[in-house]
Amino acid sequence: EIYTDQKVPSLLEASVYVGNTSFKNVLVINSISKRSSAPGLRSGFIAGDAEILKGYSQYRTYVGCASPLPLQAASAMAWDDEFHVDRARAVYAENFKAAQEILGITTSDATFYVWLKVDNALEFTQRLYRDYNVKVLPGEFLARDDSHGENPGIGYIRIALVEETLRTIQALNRLKEALSCKN
């Protein structure tokens, strides 16, 4: 449900489109975390192949836990409301536009993250926070070593463009300044 211009078809919609109406070998995991900026609610769903879901259902019975009733009520309200989702999409679109203008980068149509290549992501992340009061995440923290023992996130930072636009612009300008300073 996060896109900047036109709605992106879901995997379930794509499955129906190609005739896979039983969703064989398809699982979709969705949560309210990104959709509603509510990661603490821990509310979501899994949909798709009924055979695969049988095993998950049994697994969930033994390792899952129920959310407290107030959190369930808040989640139900968020799932039922599209206005806040539309508003968030508008903010993300403005933030991407700002990132394109300030950093001169190409952005994606279905996310609120930007990935930037830097020399040393961990060092840059620390300096950016210490000297510019901007938090980003080193890419190496978000990936595992591949079959060749290499971490594809090394040398990248991930920026979440989720704050209101004025603050995002301020942070992007500080980020640009930090990128231009090598010390």
Residue 66 pLDDT greater than 90, yes or no: no
CATH value at residue 116: 3.90.1150.10
Domain that holds residue 150: 88-180
How large is the average pLDDT for residues 73-83? 94
Q: What global pTM score does this model have?
A: 0.81
Residue 183 pLDDT greater than 60, yes or no: no
Cβ atoms of 3 and 89 closer than 8 Å? yes
Has residue 131 been placed in a domain? yes
pLDDT tens-digit map of 121-149:
999 999 999 999 999 999 999 999 999 99
How far is Cα 134 from Cα 175, in angstroms, rounded to an integer? 7
Which has more confidence, 14 or 111? 14
How large is the average pLDDT for residues 145-171? 95
How far is Cα 169 from Cα 95, in angstroms, rounded to an integer? 7
pLDDT tens-digit map of 36-57:
988 888 899 999 999 999 988 8
Predicted local distance difference test score (pLDDT) of residue 3: 82
Has residue 1 been placed in a domain? no
- Same domain? For 18 and 75 the reply is yes
- Same domain? For 111 and 50 the reply is no
Residue 26 pLDDT greater than 70, yes or no: yes
How large is the average pLDDT for residues 69-91? 93
Q: How many domains does one find in the chain?
A: 2
Q: What is the mean pLDDT of the chain?
A: 92
Has residue 169 been placed in a domain? yes
How far is Cα 57 from Cα 106, in angstroms, rounded to an integer? 41
Q: Name the band, by pLDDT with cuts 50, 70 and 90, for residue 60.
A: confident
Predicted local distance difference test score (pLDDT) of residue 41: 84
How large is the average pLDDT for residues 24-36? 91
- Same domain? For 60 and 119 the reply is no
Has residue 54 been placed in a domain? yes
Last residue of one domain, picked from the residues 81, 102, 132? 81
Cβ atoms of 134 and 163 closer than 8 Å? no
